[in-house]
Chain A
């Protein structure tokens, strides 16, 4: 009755789509937190980006302009976070919460005033959406057992932003661990006074980190509104920014681990969509609620130190004061 390969491929295909926004937001948080700026405003930034990308894509019928608008909106909120927590040395958590509230209210308000559709954007037509792309040789390779169908069904057939997100992982690793900029960025999060002594601007480094964070959140939001969906719906991020934060802790602030933790969380979400498969293969029913809660449970286990240790950047959450 059950075809293992087909079932697995559909679940993995779904995993790819569900993991991508998590991965982008997780890497965004990684840049910011590695530089010592905690950011619980990922959710709000994604939401704002989702709205502005959908709005611009609808008005201009050009999805790339939409993407640019999404990134722009997310960067503005990032800068706001930066001004509050870097320049004015405010509390980073409070600023993050404020951004989440601001985005949740602002997007619906503007959507209502522009489009009069109850806080939604109208559905995007084809030019305003990212289309799924078929990777080269997807059909030719599909004759090879296992790898062929896997390549065709799971790897191929997503929007370009999925591949951008996947490429961001090695790129993030390379930037953070193989460039001078990355070394300084990490140092700012561990020992900002040392960076300052070396004559590098702590403020400047932290601002660049939050701006990178804004760009990545912008892509994540645009992917949701113009890649997966065809428009914006109020609160459509539905807590993914917080799951991304959990994934970041789960990944111990490392890029490759971030990839695996986001894929794992995405996989759990994808499995939760198919209670019939769980019952078919395991022989008993698993509560969907349990699967939904698993990312958080796993994160708590990691934080409690049962599996390895999650040590956040040492200067994280603290504004840098040059001279006391």
Chain B
């Protein structure tokens, strides 16, 4: 009997899901969870904005384990969701195998490149945003020395560092940039203690603005900078609120725009390589009530001017990942 009811239930569920094939978009969050105050939450905000503006609805799932990646992708694809957006590079392997099985479904992966005809690979020009906050750091510093603290030593983080240094040097060619990486293992993303000590070490070397591109380690960097009375720069999402008046700005990675964009295009999602830079609102710097007193009108004007030049192509910022080298130290 119970076997029978299970089969019936499964059939009913299948019928339901088939009936719901109205090409709703779907969003899959990574393990960090929907409300992680960072990457996933930004994705969620983008989807919510789309839903509010269009009155549409979307499907979503928060992954609970690594094994669910492919399962979640397939379930949404079977249910007819289109496009399916996933937040995070970790989906690459699962998507690589799933995409081919559902040629009529469009997928979008953020922060990673998956080369399939029905996949949009969204990547961000973090070096452009870092360039802007570097310019701000160079204008805010009084000592002429600024710092950079990266998380794990990988090319992506060097890309942040390289853009930052270029921005600093553009304003003040004689400025010194102290660069430290927290470590070489994933533990480097969540070591606020070491972030704190690195900040103190950079302060001892004269730094008075520190840019943290280091995940959870950055929490320690921002905290110590606030405690020691110097300025810090947040990353990815707007972290200005964490220490009002002590965080100069935050380098924004507009994951929300990427999701919003994909949802807006719907089933006709343009696939291929999608670069989110300054030109299309993919990166930027944060300005709100928490840092308004720190950002002078001159500073804002010069940064906005540079942003305009980068967007129009008049000014090009070197991308570390293009040749694994940085022209300035």
Chain A positions near chain B (C-beta within 8 angstroms): 10, 14, 17-18, 21, 112, 116-120, 123, 224, 228-231, 233-236, 238-240, 269-270, 273-276, 288-289, 292
Q: How far is the CA of A175 from the CA of B204 in the complex (A)?
A: 40
- The answer to whether A233 and B192 have CB atoms under 8 Å apart is yes
Q: Which residues of B contact A228 (CB under 8 A)?
A: 193, 196
Q: How far is the CA of A292 from the CA of B184 in the complex (A)?
A: 10
Supposing A118-B41, A234-B190, A276-B178 touch, asked if A18 and B36 sit within 8 A by C-beta, the answer is no
Q: Which residues of A contact B200 (CB under 8 A)?
A: 10, 14
- The answer to whether B187 and A229 have CB atoms under 8 Å apart is no
- The answer to whether B184 and A289 have CB atoms under 8 Å apart is yes
- The answer to whether B38 and A118 have CB atoms under 8 Å apart is yes
Taking the closest CB of chain B, its distance from the CB of A134, in whole angstroms, is 16
Q: Which of A119, A231, A270, A273 has the most CB atoms of chain B within a 10 A radius of its CB?
A: A273
- The answer to whether B197 and A18 have CB atoms under 8 Å apart is yes
Residue of A nearest to B40 (CB): A118
Residue of B nearest to A275 (CB): B180
Taking the closest CB of chain A, its distance from the CB of B321, in whole angstroms, is 21
* Residues from 167 to 219 in B contacting A, C-beta threshold 8 Å: 178, 180-181, 183-184, 187-188, 190-194, 196-198, 200-201, 204-205, 216, 219
Chain B positions near chain A (C-beta within 8 angstroms): 32-33, 35-38, 41, 178, 180-181, 183-184, 187-188, 190-194, 196-198, 200-201, 204-205, 216, 219-220, 223, 227, 242-243
Q: Which residues of B contact A240 (CB under 8 A)?
A: 193
Q: Which residues of A contact B178 (CB under 8 A)?
A: 276
Residue of A nearest to B41 (CB): A118
Binding site secondary structure of chain B? helix
Taking the closest CB of chain A, its distance from the CB of B161, in whole angstroms, is 14
Residue of B nearest to A231 (CB): B219
Q: Which residues of B contact A117 (CB under 8 A)?
A: 35, 37
- The answer to whether B180 and A273 have CB atoms under 8 Å apart is yes
Residue of A nearest to B227 (CB): A230
Q: Which residues of A contact B216 (CB under 8 A)?
A: 120, 233-236
* Partner pick for A238 among B38, B187, B196, B223, CB 8 A cutoff: B187
Q: How far is the CA of A113 from the CA of B294 in the complex (A)?
A: 34
Taking the closest CB of chain A, its distance from the CB of B177, in whole angstroms, is 12
Supposing A112-B35, A231-B219 touch, asked if A270 and B197 sit within 8 A by C-beta, the answer is yes
- The answer to whether A229 and B190 have CB atoms under 8 Å apart is no
Q: Which residues of B contact A235 (CB under 8 A)?
A: 187, 190, 216
Residue of A nearest to B185 (CB): A239
- The answer to whether A10 and B190 have CB atoms under 8 Å apart is no
User: What are 28 A-B interface contacts by the 8 Å CB criterion?
Assistant: A10-B201, A14-B200, A14-B201, A18-B197, A21-B193, A116-B35, A117-B37, A118-B41, A120-B216, A123-B242, A229-B193, A229-B219, A230-B227, A231-B219, A231-B223, A233-B190, A233-B192, A235-B187, A236-B190, A236-B191, A236-B216, A238-B193, A239-B187, A240-B193, A269-B194, A273-B201, A289-B184, A292-B183
- The answer to whether B33 and A236 have CB atoms under 8 Å apart is no
* Given pairs A120-B216, A231-B223, 16 additional interface contacts (CB within 8 A): A14-B200, A119-B36, A120-B219, A123-B223, A228-B196, A229-B193, A233-B219, A233-B220, A234-B216, A235-B190, A236-B191, A236-B216, A240-B193, A269-B194, A273-B180, A288-B181
Residue of A nearest to B33 (CB): A112
Q: How far is the CA of A224 from the CA of B184 in the complex (A)?
A: 22
